[in-house]
C-alpha cells in the first residue's frame, strides 16, 4: 500500500484530522466526479446511437458486452501494471488518451462516419484502458488519504460520483442529444481532459511497489496477487459474496425495464420514479455509510446486514405491484448496495500488503465483474421462462447466498477485529 508520509498532501490531511475539501483529496474527488459525469453522458448517448445505427438486438447488446469483456481479459494485467508504475501518472495518461479517443469519436459522429463497428471498438478500448485506471485509482487513494480516513474517503468519492452521474449527467444527456448527436461525446472528451489535469496536479510520495527485476515477470506478479487474495480468509469471503451478489444484480439490471414495465405495469413516468428512488438510496448510502457501520458494529456484520436487506427488498420488489412502493424498496436496495461498495473497497485497501494493492484489487474486481454478464443472461432466461418478476426474485436468492458466504468470517475475531479489516468508525 502506498505510503502517506510527511511531505505529501496526505500528510497535511492527516495533520488536519479530517478530509479537506481542498488539496489532494479534493482534487481526486473532483476528478472522480467529473469523470462519472462524462461517463453518464456517454452511457446515455451510446445505446441510443447504437439503436439508430442498427435494428439488430444482438449488435446493440454487444456494445454493452464490450464494457465487461475487457475486465475479464485484461483486469489482472491492469492490476499488475498499476503496482509497477506511478499510479498518478498512469491515471492522468490514461485519461488523456481516453479524451483523445472520445474527441475523435465525436468528430466521426458529427461527420456521420460512425458505424456500429466503431461503437464496438470504442467501447472495448475505453474499458480496456479503464482496467488500468481503476486499479491505479484504488492503489493511489491511500497515498492521498490517511489510513484511518479511507472509509470516509471512499464514501465521499462514491457519493460524489453518484450525484454527478445520475442527477446531473443523466438529465443533461438528453438535452445535449437533442442539440446534436456528437455533443455528449464531445463533452465526455472534455471531462477526461479536466480529470487528467486534476490528477496530474496531485503531489504524492513515490510508489510503494518494488522496482521490477528480471525474476519478477508480470505473470508471476499476477499470481502473487491472486494467491494473496485467496489466502486472506476475510477478503476471500468478501469476494465470494460479491461475486454471487453481482450475478443477481446483473440479472436485475439487464431486465429492470422488463420488471418495471412488465410486472409493475408502469409507464415511462413510473420507470423514472423507480430508478430515481434507487439513485436517491445510493446517495444516502454514501452519506450515511460510516454511521451505518457504527450502528451495526463492524465490517463483516454490516456487509451481512446490507446483503440481507438487499435480498429482502428484492423479494418485495418482485411480489408487490406498486410503483411508489417499488421506488422505496429500490431506494433501500441502493442504500445497502452503496454501503457494501464502500466497505468492500476499503477492506481491500486496508488489508493489502504494500506494493500489492493494484493486483489484489484487480483480482477482486475481475471475479466480481465476471458474474455480471452471466447474471444478465440468467435474468433474461428467467423472465422468459417464469415471467417478468422472476429476475428480481432470482437476484434476491443470489444476494441471500452471498450473505450466507460471509458467515464463516463472522464467527472468528479475524472477521471483526480492527487490525484484520474493520473499517474505522469515522463520519464521512
pLDDT reported for residue 250: 86
Helices (H) and strands (E) in the chain, counts: 19, 0
- CATH number of the domain within which 268 lies: 1.20.1250.20
Domain boundary among 208, 230, 263: 208
In a domain, 215, yes or no: no
Residue 191 and residue 89 share a domain? yes
Task: Provide the grid cell at 242.
Answer: 460479491
Q: Tell me if residue 355 falls in helix, strand or coil.
A: coil
pLDDT reported for residue 204: 66
The number of folded domains in the chain is 2
- Which has more confidence, 266 or 66? 266
In a domain, 398, yes or no: yes
Q: What is the domain extent for residue 109?
A: 9-13+19-208
Residue 312 and residue 180 share a domain? no
Which distant-in-sequence residues (6+ apart) come within 8 Å of 231 by Cβ? none
In a domain, 2, yes or no: no
CA distance 117 to 128: 17
In a domain, 428, yes or no: no
- Per-residue pLDDT tens for 79-108? 999 988 888 999 999 999 999 999 999 999
- Per-residue pLDDT tens for 171-188? 888 788 889 989 999 999
pLDDT reported for residue 12: 36
Q: How confident is the model at residue 111 (pLDDT cuts 50, 70, 90)?
A: very high
Are 234 and 351 a contacting pair, CB within 8 Å? yes
CA distance 158 to 134: 13
Residue 127 and residue 52 share a domain? yes
- Per-residue pLDDT tens for 122-139? 989 998 998 898 888 888
* CA nearest to 197, candidates 88, 107, 83: 88
Q: What's 146's DSSP letter?
A: -
Over residues 369-393, mean pLDDT: 87
pLDDT reported for residue 54: 80
Domain boundary among 164, 187, 208: 208
Surface-to-core class of residue 116, CB atoms within 10 Å of its CB (0-12 exposed, 13-18 middle, 19+ buried):
middle
Residue 385 and residue 248 share a domain? yes
Residue 313 and residue 198 share a domain? no
Residue 78 and residue 162 share a domain? yes
Are 99 and 190 a contacting pair, CB within 8 Å? yes
- Per-residue pLDDT tens for 142-162? 888 888 888 889 999 999 998
Alpha helices in 54-169 (DSSP H): 57-65, 69-84, 87-110, 116-144, 150-162
CA distance 229 to 393: 31
Residue 13 clears pLDDT 90, i.e. is over it: no
Mean pLDDT, rounded, of the chain? 83
pLDDT reported for residue 306: 94
Residue 181 and residue 227 share a domain? no
Buried b / exposed e along 157-186 (16+ C-beta atoms within 10 A) = bbbbbbbbbbeebbebbeebbeeebbbbbb
Residue 245 and residue 337 share a domain? yes
With a pLDDT cut of 90, the percent of the chain lying above it is 43
Residue with cell 455480471: 372
In a domain, 361, yes or no: yes
Are 110 and 182 a contacting pair, CB within 8 Å? yes
Residue 357 clears pLDDT 50, i.e. is over it: yes
In a domain, 1, yes or no: no
In a domain, 184, yes or no: yes
pLDDT reported for residue 270: 87
Are 98 and 39 a contacting pair, CB within 8 Å? no
In a domain, 339, yes or no: yes
Residue 234 and residue 200 share a domain? no
Residue 286 and residue 171 share a domain? no
Q: What's 169's DSSP letter?
A: I
Domain boundary among 182, 208, 234: 208
Q: What angle (nearest 5°) sits at the alpha carbon of residue 428, between those of residues 295 and 29? A: 150
* CA nearest to 279, candidates 325, 331, 336: 331
Q: What is the pTM of this model?
A: 0.79
- Per-residue pLDDT tens for 189-246? 999 999 999 999 987 655 554 544 445 688 889 999 999 999 999 999 999 999 999 9
CA distance 29 to 230: 31
pLDDT reported for residue 380: 84
Residue 422 clears pLDDT 60, i.e. is over it: no
pLDDT reported for residue 414: 45
Residue 343 and residue 200 share a domain? no
CA distance 150 to 346: 6
Residue with cell 452471466: 374
Residue 273 and residue 365 share a domain? yes
Amino acid at each position: 500500500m502506498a505510503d502517506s508520509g510527511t511531505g505529501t498532501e496526505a500528510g497535511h490531511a492527516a495533520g488536519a484530522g479530517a478530509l479537506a475539501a481542498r488539496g489532494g483529496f479534493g482534487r481526486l474527488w473532483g476528478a472522480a466526479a467529473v469523470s462519472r459525469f462524462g461517463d453518464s453522458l456517454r452511457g446515455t448517448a451510446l445505446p441510443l446511437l447504437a439503436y439508430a445505427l442498427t435494428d439488430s438486438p444482438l449488435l446493440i447488446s454487444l456494445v454493452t458486452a464490450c464494457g465487461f469483456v475487457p475486465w475479464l481479459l485484461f483486469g489482472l494485467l491492469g492490476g499488475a501494471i498499476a503496482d509497477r508504475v506511478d499510479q498518478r501518472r498512469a491515471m492522468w495518461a490514461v485519461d488523456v488518451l481516453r479524451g483523445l479517443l472520445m474527441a475523435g469519436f465525436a468528430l466521426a459522429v458529427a461527420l456521420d462516419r460512425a458505424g456500429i463497428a466503431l461503437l464496438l471498438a470504442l467501447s472495448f478500448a475505453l474499458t480496456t484502458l479503464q482496467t488500468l485506471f481503476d486499479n491505479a485509482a484504488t492503489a493511489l487513494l491511500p497515498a492521498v488519504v490517511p489510513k484511518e480516513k479511507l472509509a470516509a474517503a471512499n464514501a465521499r468519492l462514491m457519493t460524489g460520483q453518484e450525484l454527478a452521474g445520475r442527477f446531473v449527467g443523466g438529465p443533461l444527456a438528453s438535452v445535449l442529444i437533442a442539440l446534436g448527436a456528437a455533443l455528449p461525446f464531445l463533452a465526455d472528451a472534455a471531462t477526461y481532459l479536466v480529470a487528467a489535469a486534476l490528477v496530474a496536479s496531485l503531489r504524492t510520495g513515490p510508489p510503494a511497489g518494488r522496482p521490477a527485476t528480471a525474476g519478477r515477470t508480470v505473470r508471476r506478479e499476477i499470481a502473487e496477487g491472486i494467491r494473496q487474495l485467496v489466502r486472506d480468509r476475510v477478503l476471500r469471503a468478501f469476494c465470494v459474496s460479491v461475486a454471487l451478489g453481482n450475478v443477481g444484480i446483473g440479472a436485475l439490471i439487464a431486465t429492470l425495464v422488463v420488471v418495471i414495465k412488465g410486472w409493475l405495469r408502469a409507464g415511462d413516468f413510473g420507470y423514472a420514479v423507480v430508478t430515481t428512488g434507487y439513485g436517491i438510496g445510493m446517495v444516502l448510502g454514501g452519506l450515511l455509510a460510516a454511521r451505518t457501520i457504527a450502528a451495526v458494529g463492524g465490517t463483516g456484520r454490516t456487509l451481512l446486514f446490507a446483503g440481507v436487506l438487499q435480498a429482502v427488498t428484492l423479494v418485495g420488489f418482485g411480489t408487490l405491484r406498486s410503483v411508489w412502493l417499488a421506488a422505496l424498496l429500490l431506494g433501500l436496495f441502493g442504500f445497502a448496495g452503496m454501503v457494501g461498495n464502500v466497505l468492500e473497497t476499503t477492506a481491500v485497501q486496508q488489508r493489502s500488503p504494500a506494493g500489492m494493492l493494484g493486483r489484489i484489487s484487480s483480482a477482486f474486481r475481475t471475479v466480481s465483474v465476471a458474474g455480471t454478464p452471466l447474471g444478465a443472461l440468467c435474468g433474461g432466461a428467467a423472465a422468459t421462462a417464469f415471467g417478468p418478476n422472476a429476475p428480481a426474485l432470482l437476484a434476491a436468492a443470489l444476494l441471500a447466498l452471498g450473505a450466507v458466504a460471509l458467515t464463516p468470517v463472522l464467527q472468528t475475531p479475524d472477521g471483526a477485529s480492527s487490525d484484520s479489516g474493520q473499517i474505522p468508525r469515522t463520519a464521512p
